[in-house]
Every structure is written in C-alpha cells, then in structure tokens.
Chains A and B, each alone.
Chain A
Amino acid sequence: MSIKTEQMVLNIGPQHPSTHGVFRIEVVIEGEYIRKAKPVIGYLHRGTEKLAEDLIYTQFIPYTDRLDYMNAMTNNYVYCAAVEKLMEIEAPERAEYLRVITMELNRIASHLVWWGTYLLDIGALSPFLYAFRDRDTILDRLNEISGARMTFNYMRIGGVKWDAPEGWIDKVKETVKLLRENFAEYHQLVTGNEIFIGRTKGVGIITKEDAINWGLSGPILRGSGVKFDLRKNQPYSIYDRFDFDIPTREEGDCFARYEVRLDEMFESLKIIEQACDQITEGEIVHKKGQRIMMIKPPAGETYFRCEASKGEIGVYLVSNGKNKPYRLKLRRPSFVNVEILADMLIDRNIADLVAIFGSLDVVLGEVDA
C-alpha cells in the first residue's frame, strides 16, 4: 500500500515577520511542495489616487513619500517631474543636482534595507546590523537637507524645497568614501557564504522573456539579463552627465538579483561623487513653482517614468487646467513586480517561499497604494 500525501492549505500572513508589511499569501502544499499560491493584497490601501483628485498639486507631494517609504526621494521626483513635463518647465540646474544626489543616496539606503532584511529572513542576523549602521549615515545626510529621515517631502514642482546647508556637499563626499570602504566588507561577510549560496543560487529563476512579459523592472529585470535602466536608456533629469554602468547578470535567480543590487550601490556612489564635483551655486526652484496656488498645468495628459530602487515608477497625469489633478495614476514597481510571485512558487519547496519573495524587494505601502 502506498502512502498518499494530502494537499493542505496554508495561510501565511497578513502579519508575518518576513513580509515587512501586511501581505497575505495562501498556498496549497503537498508535503513540502507548493502546488498553488494566491497572494492577497490591499491591507494597506489608502486610496492614494483618489486623494490626489482632491488636493492641489503641491499638497500631494507628501503622499508620494508614503508609497515606497524606503525610497521616497524618487517618488517625490517622479511626481514633480510629471507635473513639470505637463507645464513644460525645467528645474534650475542646482536643483537637479540636489535631486540626483538625494535620489542616489536614497537608492543606496533602500538597497541596504533590502540587503539587511533579506539576509535576516533567510537566517543571518548580523548583516542587518551592518546595513542599518550604514543606512543611518545616509539618513543623517538626508535629514540634514530635508528635515526628515524617511518621509522627506523634499522636492517641489520646479525644484527642491531647501538648499544644501553649509558644508553639506563636503559631508556627502566623506560619506561616499566611508560607504565605499564599508560596502567592501559586505562581500566578505556574505557573498561567498556557502549556506547563503545554497539558498539563493538556482532558486526563483525568471527568464528574460518572462521578465519582460510580466512587466518586471529594476534589479529583477537586470538580474534576468536585460540591460535596461531608465537612467541610461531614457535619461531624465541630468543623468546623461554622469559616467556609470548598468550591472546585469544572466542567471535570473535570487543570487543574481542580490549581486545586481550590491553592484548598483557602488554605481550610485560613483554618480553621487560626480554630482558633488559638478554642482554649482544657483537658484533651487523655478519661479513658476514658487506660487503653489497658481500651479495649473495646461489641459493635457502625459506619462512620465523614472528608475526607482525597485524599478520603473511612473505617473500618468491628466490635467483639465485646474489646480488639482483630474486623474493621477501611479505605476508602482512593487505592485507590478510581485504579480509574478504566484507563478514562481509553483512546485517549489515551501522553504524557498521566503527566499523567493524576499528577492523581489517589495514594499507593501507601494503595492497597496
């Protein structure tokens, strides 16, 4: 007589230490293998797009902070830049430099949170402490310029809110040096670890074709061998002035995504260094952006996208000529990137669930909008 394994339904979440937010997934398991998975989202839905329709353009900026709260600078930017595109104005040069420096610092901070928590999820505690030590240095710099550590509300339509305090640029340069030394440690600490490799190599493979068809972007897409980064492929702001590479890997597994993110942190350091050398004195906000009640983009619509730490963040903005957006759609990278999860889990061991989900670097505030 053969022993049959019965299928059972296992519910994980909405609160679970490894989800860093409120995410639920129902999995059907047969022994240790997942046969079906159904992600359930919406626990953090705040109706951000609806709220936008009732706010004047500038008032909406703090709401963008609360989408991907690990990478709020880029969210600030993509919204402001979309409005600027409709208004056909450009931010002053100094403002663009400050935007680039803060966005890249924030990208590193975001990758650090991912790095620390991902390893925490799969069983390594100490990397988390290293990551948060370095992230805190970055948050100090961002706090000095914006007055906040995570929800910055720093950018404005047509520029930025505050100029850099005295000596800030030099401090950033020192931070870059410090981080570069510290990041070298990361490879010694984790990258070659046998257990880590065992849990991530060959796990959660996404092919190039799947990655594109599922609309994946950011480090996930690049980890699957697609050399695509909006900063290079469709340069916005002043990214065409900097010399940096787009790290890619061919394997498409969790380890490839890990390597891409670590490499990207070094590339961001390069950009910050160059921006700090090139920045000059000048205005920090366009005169049309100063009178916030009068910000009324002409009737029209446009889609604007840029490269956030998690991938392509986009804004589809419709204006009817009044001082509030008629319709604002946010294309949030985490929302799109987590779509593929259910497919990736089929016939995988339940122990890989956390390794696979974590490798997608999803922030639930952004998934649920």
Chain B
Amino acid sequence: MSQLLLDTVLKKFEDISGPEVVEESKINFNEPFLTLASEKWNLELARLLVEDEKLRFDFLCCLTGIDYEEHMEVVYNFYSMELDQYLCIKVKMPRSNPKIISVQPVWKTADWHEREAYDLLGIEFIGHPNLTRIFLEDDWVGHPLRKDYKFDKEEMGL
C-alpha cells in the first residue's frame, strides 16, 4: 500500500519536473518518504499533492527545519483526511544560503511553522507573506537551533 503510493507520487512528480526530480525515495516506518533538492521543490508540486485525486494531501501535520551541519533540511509530514494516507517529503538546501519556497499559499497552517523555522534556524521561505521572528525579539542575533550557535552566558547573566 505504501509502496504503491510512493510509486504514484514518484511518477506524478517525474511527469511534471522530469526524471531527476527526486533524489531518494524509500519506505520509512511504513510511510512513503521522498527527498528533493530545494531547486526542484516548487508550488506546482505542492498543489499537485493537494489536488490530485489519488493523493489529496489536504492536511499538513508538521513542518520541521533541521540543521545537519553540512546542509539544511525542511521536512513536511502530510496526511490525507479523505484517503487516510501519509507522506513525508524532505527538501535539502545548502547551509550557506538556505532558501526554500513557502507553501503557505497551499496550506495556510504553514504560516507559523515557517516563521518558527525562520526564527530558530534562519531558513528563508520565499513568498511568505510575513516572514518575521515569532518567538525571539526582532533584534535577536543568530538562530539558536543551528548547531554552531554560540551564546555568551555572561551576557545572559548566567
């Protein structure tokens, strides 16, 4: 079942963006799991995930930013209310210039998730309507969830 879904998504992605759109595909804990490079990930693919009658991923459960030291990633966990199926998509980007499209136009819930990833990891979401810090003050320096984030204990009064 998961394998079938994985093959369907792969085929549909390739039909739109060519044969090399997906870097890696596998089944991870019984869920289809795809890895893409950020330059291949676009709103057309995102819309396909919602609109296609075999996919219908209308519910974005979670959006996670991860710093892997050599690169950065954004992970999307999707669920389909209508078809009761899951999908995980991982988008990789270079650490020196982490930029990715905003999926807020497709799933409104992405709004604050993306602001959180911007605030704590410094990932820039292109096309986001209000990409500002969400937890930390506007003049905060740095992004705490980055692995090389340094903080001055003395300055913080510790």
Contact = CB atoms under 8 A, between A and B. Distances in A.
B122 to A, nearest CB: 14
B27 interface: no
A257 to B, nearest CB: 18
A153 B122 CA distance: 33
B59 A215 contact: yes
Contacts of A213: 58, 107-109
B77 A49 contact: no
Contacts of A85: 29
Contact of B61 (A49, A226, A305): A305
Given A233-B84, A335-B112, A339-B111, A45 B135 contact: yes
A300 B88 CA distance: 14
Contact of A318 (B66, B116, B145): B66
Given A228-B81, A301-B28, A303-B77, A316 B64 contact: yes
Which of B60, B67, B112 has the most A CB atoms < 10 Å from its CB? Answer: B112
A301 B77 CA distance: 12
Contact of B109 (A226, A327, A339): A339
Q: How many of chain A's residues touch chain B, expressed as a range?
A: 20 to 34
Nearest to B33: A301
A250 B4 CA distance: 34
Q: How many of chain B's residues touch chain A, expressed as a range?
A: 20 to 34
Contact of A214 (B29, B66, B109): B109
Contact of A331 (B61, B88, B134, B144): B61
Contacts of A303: 31, 61-62, 75, 77, 88
Q: For the complex, would chain B's binding face be called helix, strand, loop or mixed by DSSP majority?
A: mixed
A302 B29 contact: yes
Nearest to B58: A212
Interface in A13-55: 41-42, 45, 47, 49-50
A336 B84 CA distance: 21
A336 B29 contact: no
A93 interface: no
A52 to B, nearest CB: 10
Contacts of B112: 335-336, 339
Contacts of A322: none
Interface string A48-76: 01100000000000000000000000000
A335 B61 CA distance: 12
A329 interface: yes
Interface string B66-83: 110000000101000100
A314 interface: yes
A368 interface: yes
B120 interface: yes
A312 interface: yes
Contacts of A316: 62, 64, 75, 77
B98 to A, nearest CB: 15
A321 to B, nearest CB: 14
A303 B62 CA distance: 9
Interface string B35-56: 0000000000000000000000
Interface string A228-268: 10000100000000000000000000000000000000000
Interface string A295-333: 000001111010000001010101000000001010100
Nearest to B109: A215
Interface in B82-106: 84, 88
B126 interface: no
Given A314-B61, A314-B77, A318-B66, 7 more contacts: A42-B136, A215-B59, A215-B108, A233-B84, A327-B64, A329-B66, A340-B108
What are the nearest 7 A-B pairs in CB distance?
A: A215-B109, A42-B135, A45-B135, A329-B64, A331-B62, A316-B64, A303-B77
